[in-house]
Amino acid sequence: MGAGGMPHRLLERLRRDHDVSLHGVALSIGGSQPLCREHLARFAGLVNRYQPALVSEHLAWSTHASCYYNDLLPLPYTPATLLSVCDHIDQVQTAIGRRLLLENPATYVVFKESTIPESAFLAEVARRTGCGLLLDINNLFVSAVNHGRSASADLDAFPIEHIGQVHLAGHSVQAEVDVGGRLLIDSHDSVVADVVWQLFERAMHRGVHAPTLIEWDSKLPPWAELKSQADIARSLMHRALRVEVAHD
């Protein structure tokens, strides 16, 4: 979010020919303390500068007191947290002058204090604030496996009427954990798993048709392999649309 340099030159060049989406990672919308005004102002400035087609952030927190944790940490789903998250989203949407998309998190722990299912929490946030939702299907699968839930059931419960974007990514498996069994990590460093592709198809059959992004952040592959992942997504989207047209 600096003033200039190579990143801005590249973005300005890309923006002339393509729509872009802006994906925040540090607003700490799920945090218990007030949003950082300086960070939010810089974020809003970036939105104003590039006029992205979509703007999104995570249902997570990353700050406490004066510390910034370079991670997207989970939050308890309670009425008090709901009020705080909605207040933060209202502030963000006022600052950027547009709708924000909120992404479902990948989680590795749950809180005993939680009284609201994640899908219901997201639906209520969207209802109260008018924000949209970013459905990260890999996150949904990772969380479901880590907490012993059915990913298909979680997807079926997701409030699809609010979805404005879809993310797909790869994950890694940590087989040896203290509690036994396997732990999935949202690592963004491999191809999309077959089961995530299947959930993607299931989502489209439920009526989810939204701009879709392949996330790959580390252990970057050759361009051809990355493009092949996008081609798979595009092919599945076209097939789902053909099926819908045929049924109509």
Residue 166 lies in a domain: yes
Note whether residue 9 is domain-resident.
no
pLDDT tens digits, 183-226:
999 999 999 999 999 999 999 999 999 999 999 999 999 999 99
HSE value, Cβ hemisphere, 13 Å, CA-based, for 39: 14
- Indicate which CATH number applies to the domain containing 131: 3.20.20.150
- pLDDT tens-digit series, residues 211-220: 999 999 999 9
Structure confidence by residue, pLDDT tens digits, 97-123: 999 999 999 999 999 999 999 999 999
Q: Is position 3 within any domain?
A: no
Contact by Cβ (8 Å): 107, 148: no
Position 23 in a domain? yes
10 inside domain: no
Overall number of domains in the chain: 1
pLDDT at position 73: 94
For the chain, give the mean pLDDT.
94
Domain that holds residue 243: 18-247
pTM of the model: 0.94
Helix (H) or strand (E) holding 243: helix 223-247
Q: Is residue 11 part of a domain?
A: no
The alpha carbon dihedral of 53, 169, 210, 157 has a sign of: negative
Q: Is residue 129 part of a domain?
A: yes
Q: Both tokens of residue 128?
A: 């109260």
Q: Is 131 helix (H, G, I), strand (E, B) or coil?
A: coil
